[in-house]
Structure 1
Amino acid sequence: MGRNQVYCCICGGPFLEPGTREHEPGEWLCHPTLWTTVHLAKNGVELDMYKWELGMYTYDLADPANDSQRRVLEQEATYQDHNVFLISGSGEKVTAFHIVDDESALYLAVHGRCSQLVQHFVSSRREAHDVFQISDKDEISSVKQLWQVIFSRLPASGRGFAHNIDHPTRYYGIASLHLTEWEPDNNPLVGEYVEADPIEVPQLTDCILDNLEPDASVIRSEETSADLEDRDWWFNELITKKELPWLWDLDEDAARKKQRTGDWNWELLVKKLSRTDIYRPEDETLRLPLGLRNRRRIWKCIEDARLGDIQRQIGPPLLGFAVPMEGNLWDGYTPKSQQPAA
């Protein structure tokens, strides 16, 4: 694998060949989904064609259609090797992240699990804009807008092959591994973390509720209705998931059952869960399974997406785009969404 290893442009994790992690941690990395764009035409739905601008080292639509007629098509696939994917329905073999010859369809390779996370993220937005247009200050609110953001990150370095796409935060530490062959034993902490399934998290609700602490300030005889309302407010913040949309699968019934067993500090739990750096596997503020931490990391990658958040590489084809990180493994760069306004 090595430099030819291909990485998901949403989470930064690798695509693994079928069977390499069957019934083991990391199996979800063997299930890619290919994103491409299509448009309505006289003969039905057709693939959008993209072209390489000679001398400009950039990609663009070959024959732009009205955006209202375009959409993102998601297709299940199988990873073969050396950036070759087999589309499950048609059996067609395609490559990702670059254009073949002068003009072709363009495919973005993402994990099926990451595609599910994008759908959960979009569903959590108060307003959804099913368009490709997006400003450089706004969060994405549709798959179309995320496509546009990732498209703006493509290296576009001529006819060279891109096996990984940069991210403003370096995928929170994962991109530091993009220049090495993917073997979890090379870095057990990171390998186990990245391979942890971000969707199917065993006993998710129990793991979260195990972090509850008794509310030491409660004295029942002196408790007022205002105290009860405040505690209920924080409990409702948890179960309604408005501020914690990445916990969409929290079991509300189990949480209510826990609520009846004593006086718990729901405020402290919600505030800890709201901390954005709980994705770090070494975080000690909460006891959480790695799969949930990995989910929070990927959610942050989606949350931080901004148009133009990566400076496109302009120039001749390069051998690779990832560079070793400096400093703390999990620090990455400051995303555009967190940079001060000019």
Structure 2
Amino acid sequence: MTATDVWLPISADEIEGLPAPDESGLSYRHWDGGPDFPADPADCVFYVVPYMKGTEVSTRPLAAMTSVQVVQTLTAGIDHVEPGLGSLRAGVRLCNAKGVHEASTAELTLALILASLRGIPRFVEGQRQEEWRGGFYPALADKSVLIVGYGSIGVAIEDRLAPFECARVVRVARSARTAERGEVHALGDLPALLPEADVVILSTPLTEATHHLANAGFLARMKDGALLVNVARGPVVDTKALLAEAESGRIAAALDVTDPEPLPAGHPLWHAPGVLISPHVGGSSSAFLPRAKRLLAGQITRFAAAEPLRNVVLTTR
């Protein structure tokens, strides 16, 4: 019997535009990471990974998915499923959620920058204590901003920086190239670029090359008073090295992601001076679900019609 199951973390009846089962031959199964599988994983041909459920849940059914042809994440990053890819047969396409999270993540990036520079956490605390904490605070205007990780999210961040009259926006990616807005530097150029940046934004995927990219040497090259913003993955930053810099008061940080994550109670990062933390909510906004549903409807429609899929990150060998 030919495998036809599509595993979805969102109920099929909530996704407009999915191919009809009687026309496509596909059967939709709802699984959002619960302890029980909705059907035999061996019958799954298209697996949509549950959103933000971690590596253990994301990879749990993979070894048994002997018929799977597509693994579709609802995240821009794929690091949470990579540990399970070795159990898949050759030819399985892994697709990410490019187009779903750019707006929300870029929006939060700007919110973190503005909140950190303009002293919003200090004002919130002052309001609780009924204290009027006036004075002069840094502005984003006239600052030099360095974006490390110039993929679709990095581009979206620069789109939103445009009205803020930054003195300069510098772009860095894995390799050098010329983008629509100008030069993109390679990662190897970072030592020369870091000392000139007032705000350093990390929006790079987590790979072997970017694990602890922001290490002690990286942070030491940042100028005094600079702000580090991490909307990538927690392990892109060496937490121990960041704590040393933050506790000295030399640099500040705004983090949507941490290492470890979730950040446990009692961890010194919670109370480090100049550190603002949000709980990995860059993509978790009202924009997520409509965009995720449109992505899935489009991808599964293309799959049913044997058309090329979008956002193919790799094909297993």
Q: TM-score, normalised by structure 1?
A: 0.27
TM-score, reference length from structure 2:
0.29
Q: Which has the higher strand share?
A: 2
